[in-house]
Amino acid sequence: MNELEDILGIKFPSNCEVSSVTNTSKKVKKDSLFFGLQGINEHGSNYALEALNLGASLVVHNDKNLKISNKKVFYVKDLENILVRFLNSFYKININDNNFFTFTGTNGKTSSAFLCHQLLTNMEYESIYIGTIGVQHNNEQLQTSYSSNTTPDIFELFEIVHSCNWSMNSLNICIEISSHALDQKRLEGIHDFYSASILNIEDDHLDYHNNIASYIDAKFKIFKINSTARLIQENLLKFKNQFKFLEDPNKKLTSISSTNRFADIFFKIKNISLKKSEFYIQINNPPQNQEHEKGKKYHFKCNLFPEFNISNLIYSICSIGFDKFSEDIVNDLSFLKLPTGRSELIKNISANVIVDYAHNENAIKFFLNSIEKYFDNLIAVFGCGGDRDRKKRSKMLRSAIENSSKVIFTSDNLRNETFEQIFNDAKEGNKLETVIAIENRKEAILQGSKMIGKKDCLVILGKGHEQFQEKEGSYIKYNDFEVIDEIYS
């Protein structure tokens, strides 16, 4: 216990035990050490007494205004600066010894991180995926108690890494980093990334960021962390001059493009279908750790579609590097699978049904455009989330109307709004001749299934892998795949 006391600069009460550490009162149990830190809306020190009542053995905080006289409550001025050192000591882990492959973007970060994880696992490296669809250690899904955020905070990250019981060489951690996480500095204390990627930036989460400029600023913060490779979609280079820290020659950005042959990394899809695809990557100016790859060209085949998933895969491959691939053959990546509910064409049923997580204007447009050539007609089922950016609802419906034959507007996590309120927002400025509104999502999908022929496709958007519908503070069990299975079984 002396080392922990030395790091914090305090003396623990006699007979004090610390069985766990947390920064949320919801996770406090007997003999927990509770850290009261500044949150988004309030300071965690407000929960100091609650934590003690729940069984915490100690409360450590950095709130100079807190007035509590209790021998188990300690003020530590520079707490945030020593937090990672404390967690390293408590868990007996050096978190910065691990290789972080990080991905941000309005769309595609789940797929890119998950594909990166599969590539590393297939190469027999020890790997963890962390993101929207949970946590996976190699091929095993982990049951964790961390929050539902896309990106965990530093406490949750330690919890996840510790749960892997890996004590040999460094782990490879493939992780999605949301704009919220970058803005809130959730991973403060991680000094280095092996790679950092910005896949794309479209209008989204403006209810949080207020404007697109703040959203872009949050995304580019991923490049502030030391990274061996900094990968970026070429058309985002136009924002580079807005960030003075990128003037540092050690923060070189590597552009990726499928249209500009002179980009740092150029890729071309040679052929693509619902079942197989082939593409190549031409390396013109590689990232800083891959100089030996300059001028090389690699061919690949895989089972992914549509085109944007090949783009997601490109970032995964370039993040890892090309040492395990050959220039002399077509490298076979047929073992790769997309995350559940991402561009997922349902197999072994009598109709064409695709489930995808697209849940913003551009994602809907991009996805429907990407698959329309494979089918005669698209019937799109989707909704807009309650208590989220109201301004994007009409844009989402417009994208669906303009890029499908029929639209069935339905519910998607109403939260504390009514379906009527959400649909009224979505209708604004749109022509509704091809739109049907059905609140019950199961009934909406059933109706959609009755509207497609053999050469058409029912496209169910917005929820993907999710297992619940959120309504009025309750989580109601629901899954799109179970509905499809019930209809076509």
pLDDT per residue of the chain (489 residues) written in tens, 0 to 9: 589 999 999 999 988 999 999 999 999 999 999 999 999 889 999 999 999 999 999 999 999 999 998 999 999 999 999 999 999 999 999 999 999 999 999 999 999 999 999 999 999 999 999 999 999 999 988 766 555 678 999 999 999 999 887 766 789 999 999 999 999 999 999 999 999 999 999 876 667 777 999 999 999 999 999 999 999 999 999 999 999 999 998 899 999 999 999 999 999 999 999 989 999 999 999 998 899 999 999 999 999 999 999 999 999 999 999 999 999 999 999 999 999 999 999 999 999 999 999 999 988 999 999 999 999 999 999 999 999 989 999 999 999 999 999 999 999 999 999 999 999 999 999 999 999 999 999 999 999 999 999 999 999 999 999 999 999 999 999 999 999 999 998
User: Torsion angle of alpha carbons 51, 53, 59, 64, nearest 10°?
Assistant: 80
> Cα–Cα distance between 53 and 24 in angstroms, integer?
14
Q: What is this structure's pTM?
A: 0.90
Q: Classify the C-alpha dihedral 135-137-141-146 as positive or negative.
A: negative
pLDDT of residue 145: 59
Radius of gyration of the chain measured on its C-alpha atoms: 24
> Cα–Cα distance between 354 and 356 in angstroms, integer?
7
274 φ, ψ to 5°?
-65, -20
Q: Who's near 279: CB < 8 A, 6+ residues apart?
A: 267, 268, 269, 270, 299, 300, 301, 310, 314
pLDDT of residue 207: 72
472 φ, ψ to 5°?
50, 45
Cis (ω within 30 of 0) for the bond into 152?
Answer: no
